Structure 1
Amino acid sequence: MVYKKKSIVIGIETSCDDTAVSVVNRNRNVLSNIIIHQKIHKKYGGVVPELAARLHEKYLVKAVNMAISSAKINKNQIDAVSFTLGPGLIGPLLVGASFAKSFSMGLKIPLIGVNHVQAHILSQFIKKGNLNKSYYPIFPFLCLMISGGHTQIVKVNDFFKMEILGSTLDDSVGDAFDKIARMFGFSYPGGPKLEYFSKNGNSKKFIFSKPLVKGLDFSFSGLKSHVMQFIKKKSKKNPYFVQNNLSDLCASIQRIIAEILLEKVKKAIADTGIFRVSLAGGVSANNEIIRHFLVLEKKNKKWEIFIPKKKYATDNAAMIAITGLLKYEKNIFDPINVCSYSKFQTF
């Protein structure tokens, strides 16, 4: 397969409950980025896999047509189709994989499977407006991958040479945010609501203990339990405790989580001597976490912090398409019988 100068790659993302399709070109410009949200899951308090899969089947053709139209191209101009291979919910993943395989066979173009976590990390290489390539992080760099399903510190040596330095031993940071938010009565997804109510809160009003975890690994189950016990104890004395202290509680929890993440990254920098750090994943859109990292960057001239645009932080197809483009440039393709996987595999 010969790499074309005017490459156009379409990306399909169906790992969870968002049906997303994006088109990118050789210059790493996003020509279109369509996301159809499945709002029905809110009433169930979380994503229902079977329902998500059925809705992907319903929305995917529409999303693809919208993406191609918005990109102002026709389908015959597409040089490769990339799709989320895993990890994620297996039903939704299979819907995206089946469509991508049919699309590949129908147009006789290469098929490119993409690791969802790797795509989050490589979203940093989407072109940012008129900025040139020097804005991209230089290899090697560290990536703090924080989402609803993953919490990892990754050493990125090249586009497709990555090493996990630390990972969560139990809950992901995004899962911890959502479960704590549920204690406050917030509906799914609770993380963004917790952030919203923290804006006018005193982040030093309540002190929660930090988990003692060796090395670069994380743990959030203990923090979650501590918050639950604290709320139960206070609510016994005052049934309106949460209601009366909601903003302060949200702000205090955000602060402690941001500090946990930052302390681990500081250790990773000390261990590796690498001062370039990117954030990735849906939780990297959290303003309090961003603030903690940018404050430290101002204090340390060696530090370089790379923050993704919020529309590319949460699940989206632009990150799948850009990863597909990078693989296309290196002639890394997949056979038609490539299998989707639900659990995280090594990069």
Structure 2
Amino acid sequence: MATKREQEILALIKQDPLITQAQLAEKTGTTRSNIGSHISNLIKEGLIVGRGYVFPAENEVTVIGAVNLDVLGAAKAQVSTKGSTPGRVYSFIGGMGRNIATNLADLGVKTKLITVYGNDNNGDLFQAEAQNNELDLSDALRVERPTATYVYLNDVDGRRIAGVDDMQINELLTPQVMEKRLPKINAAKVVVVDSNLPAETLNYIYENVTVPIFAKAVGINKAQNLFSDKTKIDTLVINSVEAKLLTQIEITGEKQAQMVADKLQAWGCERVCIYADGLGIYYQTPTVAKFIAYHKANLVNTNGVGAAIIAASVYAKLQAKDFGETLKLMQRADVLTAQVNEAVTPKLSEIIEE
């Protein structure tokens, strides 16, 4: 938090963005070296960005997470493990970080995406799509490795049967990468992470990021990356399968959802949103909780639901929505996203138009 002196310096900079450190020293009655120290603190806190006294964009969100090519096999009949099943095969750009960032952009939120992707055709597709959605990739990494890929199979009812991911590239999102970008990360209003990040990178973020951290659990083998004695999460979004793996509690209704949320809050999550296909959504804060039971009509693909829910929760945070409004936005995002094959619905903005 800025000191009284640093708040004074900020006020002077806002009055004259071209003011020099010597002039700041003269106006505040201190030395130039002290001004330099205060400026460094203001950059670290994200109140100004780098040299030149650039102020962070209002309501900008930084998403740190994965991008990959999604390959979906959508069965048109009951899947047989002994032979071929008729259906359709789709491929499109996905990845939890990318999906969250794209959803936020559709909700009108200025969004920076810190990710890693390959110098290949899939990387070209991602980059072009990100530009079309006005995502800021200035701090993303592009490397001489293949862009990550996720292959999964859905049953005839749209529910996932199995998936295989080739996402080792995310190991390049190291604490050192985050350290170089820390002033810009702290300049955001909210930071969103997903559990594709290495555990040591998440720990660095918990220890050094000063703005609210939202987190999305991803997959039964990576969800545990989010948890350590350093965990500091404002809002966690997790599905019932991931929650069961972490807590050993199967969610069959509101009672079990509350038990899971209690445990996750004890592990460092202030707010917890649990979504369960066929049951509904449960949202718990330190003071209030509610379970909404519902079944999704016209269910096509649930793969992108979690990304839509967390984008809705971030939007609600930025707009200072109350508990009830936040829960309704998350529910609408769930239902709308499950109606398309792609991981991101092109109509997510409809959730704020109702």
TM-score normalized with structure 1 length: 0.27
TM-score normalized with structure 2 length: 0.27
Q: Which has the higher contact order (CA 8 A, sep 6+)?
A: 1
Larger Rg, first or second structure (1 or 2): 2
Higher helix share: 1
